[in-house]
Structure 1
Amino acid sequence: MRVLLSTYGSRGDVEPLAGLAVALQALGVQVRVCAPPDREFVELLERAGVPMAPAFSSVREWVGEMLKRKAEATPQGAAELISTTAGMIVARQFEAINAAADGCDAVVATGLFPSTAAARLVAERRGLDYAYAAYCPYFVPSSHHRPHEYPNHPLPADIADNAVLWDRDIEIMNALFGAGVNAQCAAIGLGPVKNVRDYVFTERPWLASDPTLSPWRPTPLRDVVQTGAWVLPDVRPLAPELLAFLQAGEPPVYVGFGSMPMHGLKGAALAAIEAIRAQGRRAIVARGWAQLGLLDDRDDCFAVGDVNQQALFGRVAAVVHHGGAGTTTTAARAGAPQVVVPQIVDQPYWAGRVGELGIGCAHDGPVPSFESLSAALAIALSAQTRARASAVAGLIRADGAAVAAKSLVDVLNQAKRSVTA
């Protein structure tokens, strides 16, 4: 039995697939992961013992180019940029995924929509089983929340019915992605797709997020299989210098914005250091894609690169971050109070969940100041929040990847029995 796992995105897209791959391998399944060939992802998959099939481009290079083009575009041009770029990704990613799918029985896709569309086309063209997985309920049609708002396609403020908005979302996604998807359909001999969103998402998508952190509420708009978060176990030791810093005083506050490349986050990190010091705490700053740095050379701050967050977060006083699904889940599992400074897409959702659960504070907006971070840290560092974060940690499941792996194997075995019957 062979399975191809496909994604195009940041570490938050790749690492969960590595976790699923490890769980599938434990069941005897042969797995390969089609992912961006950035060095960090190559090393991550090597560490997990999972073969990589390279996607069409480095995601860091692609994001850098897109940010540059978006900054130069008019509002109308930004919307057109999505459509033209989507067509390019569908075509080039189809080639990469199709080559990686040789000998496979199924494809599981996550990540950027044009990439998942390419994976869906590969599965149909080859007659393979296919599953789409989201890491957050925000992306899946539901009567309980509004759809994502795309550039130049604002959601009408006077429409309160989410079902109506999700119907409208079909039209928007067709306008943005339909041409690229259907051009590829024509190129490979498939008929046109009338509803690209539901073609890719399917009527029964997987939700690879923790039921406590992001519970799926039943809705007539979609039948969802919630597996739990896909976690890749990390057994790497912390560096001796970091261990020495941790042991030299009270637990510090971690600050990191992951794969967010925004230059403005450097100022946010410096404001965070000042706010942390004002609370009488030390700081650990993760450089991340924004290449964050320290405020000065005082010995109460320590900078890290790639680090085992699973080992580190249980030893910090709080975690200040951007609200990625992976970081939110890792901090919650560790019982670390959180301050979430959301930037884009699903990050406001995770910030809201952290606040609702009482395990931290959702920062109001993407641009923090010394004052706003000081207020948020006061909440996160309180005894009440610490106790609540510790209690919720005991509710976070660690078996999501195993659940998804078993489900997929069961589906494939059932399909084989049907063929041979």
Structure 2
Amino acid sequence: MRVLLTTYGSRGDVEPMVGLAVQLRALGAEVRMCAPPDFAELLDGFGVPLVPVGRPVRAMTKGVVTGTTPMPAKTLPQRAAELVDSAYDALAPAAEGCDVLVATGLLPFAAAGRAVAEKLGIPYVFVSYFPSYLPSPHHPPLEWPGRPLPPDVTDNRVLWDLNAEHLNDLFGDAVNTHRASIGLPPVDNVRDHVLTDRPLLAADPLLGPWPGPADLGVVQTGAWIRPDERPLPADLVAFLDAGAPPVYVGFGSIPLRDAEDVSRAAIEAVRAQGRRVLVGRGWADLTLIDDQDDCFAVGEVNQQKLFGRVAAVVHHGGAGTTTTAARAGAPQLVVDQLADQPYWAGRVAELGIGAAHDGPTPTFESLSAALKTALAPETRARATAAADKVRTDGATVAAKLLIDEFSR
């Protein structure tokens, strides 16, 4: 069996697909992946062939966030049309000889994946990493740029109908123009066409439950976790061994405009709680603010091993980081920035395994207040108890499902 995995986004979009790829290969499947060129080294480490798609994501997003690379003077529908065309051109040859195409990421990108699958006559499967990307009467949709949800409407079904209209307005012409160019019929509802009526939900049932009843036949597999056996660097181990567990501060693959100010606010707030600080540089380029020995900075490390040795994790609220911290029993402070991150911040707060920061811009005062909740003994106790309930077999479940359903 041959499987093509496709995504276009940050590391949080790619890592789960790597977890699935490892499990598919363990069951005898051949796997290749279409993803941004940023992740060639990661995929090469697992022997997964990469078909690069689009421009490097890190440089592009960092440039836009910091203002050094302004957004192109094009409308979102125009950029969507370019993405559909370029994605199709990359995915079509990569999908030759495959038995199923699994897609996630930006809607126009996934739409190109579905078009490829249709042209080749192979099954297409969409996967979401968080529940609120999928239509449900139990939660509202995400807001899209320039398309705010009306504050006076509280019926989620009405809001999802508006969401479908918004996405048709933004992406319908791009998707249908491309479909016509390759001989495929138009679609009336781009969102539902891309998501399908039986998507996979690669989220942990405790952290991101799918509430029922719902209209979609969602299959929740559990989170897809990339196996990571890398040892921690010797200098990091020495820092961890030299004192009490530190508070980890990192924003993963989310760039920040004012990284120096955020670094200072975070370090000073953690120190004010009497704790040592471990700074994860990440795509935000967080930095140390002095040479005191209570603070240490790291780059790319094995968070699965690291988070079991920290007092708390201050992070952006990506699905992967949230799940990794929860598995480790580490209390969390989520400073959400965009997309699914407010959802995960809310879940951390609801479960009592950490705190949700008020807004995307952390200050010394706001972080200090939220850290008191995250570092409270009762929060640690709830996080420890929750760790035993977080599933670790999501990628295995999904791999078996795909092979059982689509193997010739």
Specify the TM-score bucket, using the shorter chain as the normaliser: over 0.9
**Please, which of 228, 232, 236 is the counterpart of residue 238 of structure 1?**
232
Offset at residue 401 of structure 1 (A) = 0.1
**Please, which of 84, 95, 102 is the counterpart of residue 90 of structure 1?**
84
Q: In structure 2, what residue type is equivalent to 1:49?
A: G
Q: In structure 2, what residue type is equivalent to 1:48?
A: F
Q: In structure 2, what residue type is equivalent to 1:36?
A: P
Offset at residue 117 of structure 1 (A) = 1.0
User: Hey, what does 2:294 align to over in structure 1?
Assistant: 300
Q: In structure 1, what residue type is equivalent to 2:49?
A: P
CA contact (8 A) 1:266 1:290 kept: no
**Please, which of 271, 274, 278 is the counterpart of residue 284 of structure 1?**
278
Q: In structure 2, what residue type is equivalent to 1:405?
A: A
Counterparts in 2 of 1:126-205, with a 5 A limit? 126-205=120-199
Would the alpha carbon gap of residues 64 and 276 (structure 1) be closer, same or farther in structure 2, given more than 3 Å must change?
Answer: closer
User: Hey, what does 1:63 align to over in structure 2?
Assistant: 61
Q: Which runs of 5+ in 2 are unaligned?
A: none
**Please, which of 257, 263, 279 is the counterpart of residue 251 of structure 2?**
257
CA contact (8 A) 1:255 1:272 kept: yes
Question: 1:37, 1:151 → 2: CA distance?
Answer: 26
User: Hey, what does 2:9 align to over in structure 1?
Assistant: 9
Q: In structure 2, what residue type is equivalent to 1:97?
A: L
Offset at residue 57 of structure 1 (A) = 2.1
Question: 2:89, 2:67 → 1: CA distance?
Answer: 25
Counterparts in 2 of 1:12-27, with a 5 A limit? 12-27=12-27
CA contact (8 A) 2:63 2:69 kept: no
Would the alpha carbon gap of residues 249 and 204 (structure 1) be closer, same or farther in structure 2, given more than 3 Å must change?
Answer: same
Offset at residue 113 of structure 1 (A) = 1.5
Offset at residue 268 of structure 1 (A) = 1.9
Question: 1:204, 1:335 → 2: CA distance?
Answer: 32
- CA deviations on 1:220-240 (whole Å, 9 max, x unpaired) are 332210000000110111100
Offset at residue 44 of structure 1 (A) = 1.2
**Please, which of 351, 362, 367 is the counterpart of residue 357 of structure 1?**
351
User: Hey, what does 2:200 align to over in structure 1?
Assistant: 206
CA contact (8 A) 2:141 2:159 kept: yes
2:400 paired with 1:406: yes
2:28 paired with 1:34: no
CA contact (8 A) 2:64 2:70 kept: no
User: Hey, what does 2:112 align to over in structure 1?
Assistant: 118
User: Hey, what does 1:419 align to over in structure 2?
Assistant: none
- CA deviations on 1:146-180 (whole Å, 9 max, x unpaired) are 11111221111111110011111111101111111
Point out the more displaced range, 43-52 or 55-64: 55-64
Q: In structure 1, what residue type is equivalent to 2:80?
A: A
**Please, which of 28, 43, 49 is the counterpart of residue 45 of structure 1?**
43
CA contact (8 A) 1:163 1:221 kept: no
Question: 1:72, 1:238 → 2: CA distance?
Answer: 37
Would the alpha carbon gap of residues 219 and 83 (structure 1) be closer, same or farther in structure 2, given more than 3 Å must change?
Answer: farther
Q: CA RMSD in A?
A: 1.7
Question: 1:297, 1:328 → 2: CA distance?
Answer: 30
CA contact (8 A) 1:143 1:163 kept: yes
Counterparts in 2 of 1:410-421, with a 5 A limit? 410-413=404-407, 416=408
Question: 1:256, 1:379 → 2: CA distance?
Answer: 18
- CA deviations on 1:329-365 (whole Å, 9 max, x unpaired) are 0000000000000000110110000001110001111
Question: 1:263, 1:43 → 2: CA distance?
Answer: 27
Question: 1:72, 1:254 → 2: CA distance?
Answer: 31
CA contact (8 A) 1:10 1:259 kept: yes
- CA deviations on 1:254-274 (whole Å, 9 max, x unpaired) are 000011112224322221100
SS at match of 2:159: helix
Number of residue pairs matched by the alignment: 408
- CA deviations on 1:126-159 (whole Å, 9 max, x unpaired) are 1111100000011000111111111221111111
In percent, how many aligned pairs have the same letter? Answer: 60
Q: In structure 1, what residue type is equivalent to 2:146?
A: N
Question: 1:115, 1:61 → 2: CA distance?
Answer: 19
The answer to which structure, 1 or 2, has the higher relative contact order (CA under 8 A, 6+ apart) is 2
2:101 paired with 1:103: no
Runs of 4 or more off by more than 3 Å in structure 1? 64-73
CA contact (8 A) 2:104 2:126 kept: yes
Offset at residue 65 of structure 1 (A) = 5.8
Question: 1:221, 1:361 → 2: CA distance?
Answer: 32
Q: Which runs of 5+ in 1 are unaligned?
A: 417-421
SS at match of 2:37: coil
TM-score (norm 2): 0.97
CA contact (8 A) 2:84 2:111 kept: yes
Counterparts in 2 of 1:239-388, with a 5 A limit? 239-388=233-382
Would the alpha carbon gap of residues 387 and 201 (structure 1) be closer, same or farther in structure 2, given more than 3 Å must change?
Answer: same
Would the alpha carbon gap of residues 71 and 48 (structure 1) be closer, same or farther in structure 2, given more than 3 Å must change?
Answer: closer
Q: In structure 2, what residue type is equivalent to 1:24?
A: L
Offset at residue 66 of structure 1 (A) = 5.0
Would the alpha carbon gap of residues 228 and 16 (structure 1) be closer, same or farther in structure 2, given more than 3 Å must change?
Answer: same
